[in-house]
Chains A and B, each alone.
Chain A
Amino acid sequence: MTETTSPRRAVPLWIQITVWAFLVGLLAIVAMGLSRAQQGTVQPGQRIDDFTLTFYSGYEWDGRSEIKLSDLRGKIVVINFWASWCKPCEQEAAELQQAWTEYEPTGEVVFLGIDYVDTETDARVYLKKFGITFPNGPDLATKISQYFRIKGVPETYFVDKDGVLRYVQVGPFVSIEQIRAQIDPLLK
């Protein structure tokens, strides 16, 4: 008795490897996305990489239309992410402006307002409405917010004179004391 068996055609090796390579690549992308999502914002103690902020006309710093973070080495930098469509941002707008008025004359503190995914027209209305005078500019192509991995607006980052992040405020400040509590120790 003889049994006839039809030979099974094996899938070529290169196809198998290609399929596996695509699957592994896809899993790697998903893993990277998940890991990034769980990472949270940049953490205190981390040195902040250099970035460039282009200011809105009328909201320049020291007459300059754009600035690099590294240009502000030796100063405390308060980086505030906001947007005109953000209601919680309105809660802290007055406190931030008051703090800027207090610290600007010292020349040791610089506030940078970074306008997150906003239209310039609405941003200007917002700035005027709350009488904000500290340097402000758009987050072009969301590069800065992506670097800081912000979770929303408002978020405020306090960078010391050496360019190291010292504190992250997620959500609005409820009083000016909260802002002073972060800046004053860095001034000493």
Chain B
Amino acid sequence: MLRIGELRLETEERRNELKMKRKILTTPQKITGHRLFLVILFASLLALALFSVVSAQGTTPTDDEVNRIAKKLYCPVCENVPLDVCPTEACRQWREQIREMLSEGRTEEEIIDYFAVTYGERAAGDPRDKVKAYLIPVVAILLGTAMLVRALQMWKKPKAAEAVTPAREAKPIVPRDEYVTRIEEELKKRS
């Protein structure tokens, strides 16, 4: 039979034992939590690294990306030299500007428009307003030609009407045949 004191002691021992067991039991759980934390940390770092790679690609366009736009622009200093192959300092600066604008997320169209507005249409090479650049001159020439043709026809008609009628009446036969006939007659006379 256990006395109260012994019982307390035993209970205390038992409690300590249980605490130890609990500690042993809970320790692996804590390790798992720590591992989980490490896994999350590692995953986060990996994600961050991947994200930073992606964002680095977004902020620093490659030379190919820059040249894709540069080849549609022309050097401001040398005549008719595309920007992507021009070795001048001015062109190098322009290419850098294209790079900066691409990093800012500007589209190709926006960049070319910017260059046309800032440096003039000749920098863009291809006219921005194609209707104005191509269609209007062609339409103007065609209209002008049509007016000229009409004017010439009106100018020629009255004279033609006067001259043609008597001439045709005088020579109803094909001139070629008459000429050949006369030659043959001449030849007969001489032979």
Q: Which residues of A line the B interface, CB within 8 A?
A: 1-3, 5, 13-14, 17-18, 21-22, 25, 83-85, 116-119, 121-122, 138, 140-143, 146
Candidate in B116, B119, B184 with the most chain A CB atoms within 10 angstroms: B119
The size class of the interface chain B forms with chain A is: 20 to 34
Residues of B near A143 (CB, < 8 A) are 120
Q: Are A13 and B152 in contact (CB under 8 A)?
A: yes
**CB proximity of A89 to chain B, nearest CB, Å:** 11
Main secondary structure of the interface of B (DSSP, over half): helix
Q: Which residues of B line the A interface, CB within 8 A?
A: 76-77, 88-90, 92-94, 96-97, 100, 116-123, 137, 141-142, 144-146, 148-149, 152-153, 176-177, 180, 184
Name the CB-closest residue of A to B174: A2
**CB proximity of A17 to chain B, nearest CB, Å:** 5
Residues of B near A25 (CB, < 8 A) are 137, 141
Q: Are B148 and A17 in contact (CB under 8 A)?
A: yes
CB within 8 A of A83: which of B90, B121, B152, B184? B90
Residues of B near A17 (CB, < 8 A) are 145, 148-149, 152
Candidate in A5, A14, A143 with the most chain B CB atoms within 10 angstroms: A14
Q: Report 27 cross-chain contacts, Cβ distance below 8 Å, ordered by A residue.
A: A2-B177, A2-B180, A3-B180, A14-B145, A14-B146, A18-B142, A18-B145, A21-B141, A22-B141, A25-B137, A25-B141, A85-B88, A85-B89, A85-B90, A85-B93, A117-B119, A118-B90, A119-B93, A119-B94, A121-B97, A121-B100, A122-B93, A141-B116, A141-B117, A141-B119, A142-B122, A143-B120
**CB proximity of A19 to chain B, nearest CB, Å:** 9
Candidate in A17, A84, A138 with the most chain B CB atoms within 10 angstroms: A17
Candidate in B77, B92, B180 with the most chain A CB atoms within 10 angstroms: B77
Q: Are B96 and A119 in contact (CB under 8 A)?
A: yes
Q: Are B123 and A117 in contact (CB under 8 A)?
A: yes
Q: Are A3 and B176 in contact (CB under 8 A)?
A: yes
Q: In the docked arrangement, what's the CA distance between A181 and B184, Å?
A: 94
**CB proximity of A12 to chain B, nearest CB, Å:** 9
Candidate in A21, A85, A117 with the most chain B CB atoms within 10 angstroms: A117
CB within 8 A of A21: which of B90, B119, B144? B144
Name the CB-closest residue of A to B118: A140
Q: In the docked arrangement, what's the CA distance between A110 and B181, Å?
A: 93
Contacts A3-B176, A13-B152, A122-B93 known; A141 to B118 CB distance under 8 Å?
A: yes
Q: Are B176 and A18 in contact (CB under 8 A)?
A: no
**CB proximity of B161 to chain A, nearest CB, Å:** 17
CB within 8 A of B145: which of A5, A21, A141, A142? A21
